Amino acid sequence: MSANQAVSQISQAEPGMRDYDLECRTFSWDREAKYLDGLPGNGGLNIAHEALVRHAAGKLAGIPAFRFIRSDLSQQDYTYGDMHRLSSRFANVLLALKLEKGDRVFTLLGRIPELYVSALGTLKAGGIFCPLFSVFGPEPVLQRLSRGDARILVTTTELWKKRVVPQADRLTFLKYVLLVDAPDHLDGGVLSYPLLLSQASESYQIAPTNPEDPALLHFTSGTTGMPKGAVHVHRAVLMHELTGRIVLDFHPGDIFWCTADPGWVTGTSYGIISPLVNGVTSIVDEEEFDAERWLTILQQQRVTVWYTAPTAIRRLMRLDYLPRERYDLSSLRLVCSVGEPLNAEAVVWGERALGKKILDNWWQTETGGILIANYCGVPVKPGSMGRPLPGIEAGIAEVTDTGMKLLEEADRQGNLVIRNGWPSMFRAYLHDPDRYQRSFRDGWYVTGDLARRDADGYFWFVGRADDIIKTSGHLVGPFEVESVLMQHPAIEEAAVIGIPDPVVGERVKAYLVIRQSVHWDNHLLNDVTAFARRNLGTAIAPKEYTVVAGLPKTKSGKVLRRLLKARELGLPEGDLSTLEKS
Ligand code: ATP
Ligand code: MG
């Protein structure tokens, strides 16, 4: 069979899950564990073994695990066998540097092979891996390295000089810096990564790993405040396997592209671990978003499963053509989105523009993996986040300082809560045990997001608890208002906040990004005002509009409503380490 025939076959593959209710009824974590190997000789569970070692010993050894796409669109493949050998070398380097179990290994790298090798080598060696986004400035880097108690940092000479050297006296806990582009060691603490790797053995036996041993440290996006460090354990791999199989619907031969950077949890859980555990090939683009480039990659690489974010989708929606009119996207079998609410309009646009409905799913840094999802092969309700994964119990609750009450009836709005104990649940907030304790009530994790569940069990995102607006006795979720505004043909993006008001409590204010081809004037303002009132009712429709060139967003693409509010009210702007510079 030719490569093209193989891709066309995989593009037509049947969904792995067809009957959601049956899957939920018959599900057990014990059954799920059968999809994994466990370490040989009763040695426990290690993510790197499940992701790499077992495949490298079998028929996937010669299959690309990663295909790196460079700036000039040239590509380089690393097979499962290559990744296994390289990460074993890296694990041996860590051993030689006296890394102890639970020590933290950080990377500050672009999406280049060394990042992926370091991740898997660290997991093999029993360290805790923490990837930092390479465009962080010196202060956010210092903050995270010091809060994370980094022992070893893998980076480039340029980043080391710019981000680390100026603060070296505040980084005394950092034992070694490994430079991926230095041919020789610089001194006893600043070493050449390629030299160390070339001298290390490529045979490494993973030490016994308890499933509860910490494996990953991830900082949250900082959308609502100071980023928090969430700690995850090796057991999380059960969730990575399950969600890869039934949400991303991985099949042997799939070409998968997760566009997130590993500096955000999506780029590690789904840019590294889940596709490897499920034995598929991942595309890794070293560049940032560019509409033409991304569409070219989808076409050239014959991507079958694409996992991206609403911010990218909305940018593609700006194009003055539908992508599939100019690009051959026929290989796409599934497109999924995460990170921000996906408005119904975007879901429907996907069908016209990409040939596939875009399936939204929900999770957080703290949850370690997808917990609520729309599934291919199962009816989708556009605008909804979908239904909980089998094995996951999600609810809507009224939460107080000391307890909570589940709201069983359909369509009640409340806190989205998840029953404790799923495998990829975070096990700590770094240096903040009190906050960790406060995140749980009566055996449930309180997510901080507000949602409602309809009579069919689908969950609908309302907003973050912090962003909810109380106006004239109504609780208004920004998403509901923003989704309606974005249906107006002149509006490309919208963000909504509440401004304190002596009469109505808070009045709704909207920030609008207007389509390039449109001129904003009083006539259009009146039209938008009338449109919003007609669709939302006068109580909920915004009372004020401001047109802006762009919305402030985190580097992971989330709208920073707290910053809009702080600026509006002249309050301190808070932590801006994750703010995307526009
Ligand atoms: P911080 O916790 O520091 O404020 P953050 O919550 O943005 O940052 P992440 O863990 O990266 O950090 O993001 C998780 C949040 O993203 C969720 O709690 C939710 O608010 C939002 N989110 C994720 N997926 C979806 C989705 N499908 N629909 C709506 N919101 C989503
Ligand atoms: Mg959060």
Residue 528 is predicted with a pLDDT of: 97
Confirm or reject: Cβ of 383 under 6 Å from ligand 1: no
Residue 34 CA, ligand 1 centroid: distance in Å: 31
- Which residues does the chain have with pLDDT short of 70? 1-4, 6-7, 582
Check residue 559 and report its DSSP letter: B
The number of helices, as runs of H, and strands, as runs of E, in the chain is: 21, 28
Which residue from 143, 218, 220 has its CB within 8 A of the most atoms of ligand 1, so it is best to mutate? Answer: 220
| 514 neighbors 548 (Cβ within 8 angstroms) | no
Q: Distance (Å, rounded) from C-alpha 103 to C-alpha 153?
A: 11
Q: Distance (Å, rounded) from C-alpha 448 to C-alpha 469?
A: 15
Which of left, alpha, beta for 355 (phi over 0: left; psi -120 to 50: alpha)?
Answer: left
Q: Distance (Å, rounded) from C-alpha 231 to C-alpha 218?
A: 7
Minimum-distance ligand 1 atom for the alpha carbon of 385: 27
Largest alpha-carbon pair distance within the chain? 74
- 558 closest CA partner among 317, 269, 337: 337
Strand partners, 229: 219
Strand partners, 469: 476
Determine which residue's CA is closest to atom 28 belonging to ligand 1: 341
Confirm or reject: Cβ of 365 under 6 Å from ligand 1: yes
Q: Distance (Å, rounded) from C-alpha 540 to C-alpha 205?
A: 61
| 56 neighbors 83 (Cβ within 8 angstroms) | yes
Cα atoms found within 13 Å of the Cα of residue 443, Cβ hemisphere only:
4
- Residue 305 CA: distances (Å) to CA of 282, 322, 374: 10, 19, 14
Residue 558 CA, ligand 1 centroid: distance in Å: 8
Residue 3 is predicted with a pLDDT of: 61
| Burial of residue 385, with CB atoms counted within 10 A of its CB: 0-12 exposed, 13-18 middle, 19 or more buried | buried
Residue 463 CA, ligand 1 centroid: distance in Å: 10
Residue 363 structure tokens? 């999770």
Q: Distance (Å, rounded) from C-alpha 44 to C-alpha 222?
A: 34
Residue 469 CA, ligand 2 centroid: distance in Å: 18
Sequence-distant (6+) residues with CB within 8 A of 359 are 334, 335, 336, 337, 347, 373, 374, 375, 376, 380, 386
Strand partners, 474: 471
Confirm or reject: Cβ of 220 under 6 Å from ligand 1: yes
Q: Distance (Å, rounded) from C-alpha 280 to C-alpha 66?
A: 9
- Residue 521 CA: distances (Å) to CA of 333, 514, 517, 545, 546: 43, 11, 13, 12, 12
| 450 neighbors 413 (Cβ within 8 angstroms) | yes
Q: Are strands 176-179 and 150-155 parallel, antiparallel or unpaired?
A: parallel
Q: Are strands 176-179 and 190-192 parallel, antiparallel or unpaired?
A: parallel
| 458 neighbors 384 (Cβ within 8 angstroms) | yes
Residue 124 CA, ligand 1 centroid: distance in Å: 29
pTM of the model: 0.95
Sequence-distant (6+) residues with CB within 8 A of 428 are 230, 231, 436
- 484 closest CA partner among 435, 525, 540, 431: 540
Which residue from 143, 221, 366 has its CB within 8 A of the most atoms of ligand 1, so it is best to mutate? Answer: 221
Rounded to 5 degrees, φ, ψ at 469 are -105, 130
Residues in the chain: 582
Residue 387 structure tokens? 């239904």
| 399 neighbors 41 (Cβ within 8 angstroms) | no
Helices assigned H by DSSP within 307-394? 310-317, 323-326, 344-353
Looking at residue 440, its amino acid is: F
Which residue from 218, 223, 264, 565 has its CB within 8 A of the most atoms of ligand 1, so it is best to mutate? Answer: 223
User: Using N-to-C axis directions, what is the helix angle for 310-317 and 291-300, rounded to 10°?
Assistant: 100
Looking at the CA of 266, which ligand is closest? 1
- To which residue do tokens 């940092």 refer? 153
Looking at the CA of 554, which ligand is closest? 1
Q: Distance (Å, rounded) from C-alpha 414 to C-alpha 190?
A: 51
Residue 221 CA, ligand 2 centroid: distance in Å: 7
Q: Distance (Å, rounded) from C-alpha 223 to C-alpha 302?
A: 34
Residue 460 CA, ligand 1 centroid: distance in Å: 14
Strand partners, 354: none
Which residue from 266, 308, 362 has its CB within 8 A of the most atoms of ligand 1, so it is best to mutate? Answer: 362
| 45 neighbors 236 (Cβ within 8 angstroms) | no
Confirm or reject: Cβ of 339 under 6 Å from ligand 1: yes
Looking at the CA of 467, which ligand is closest? 1
Determine which residue's CA is closest to atom 31 belonging to ligand 1: 340
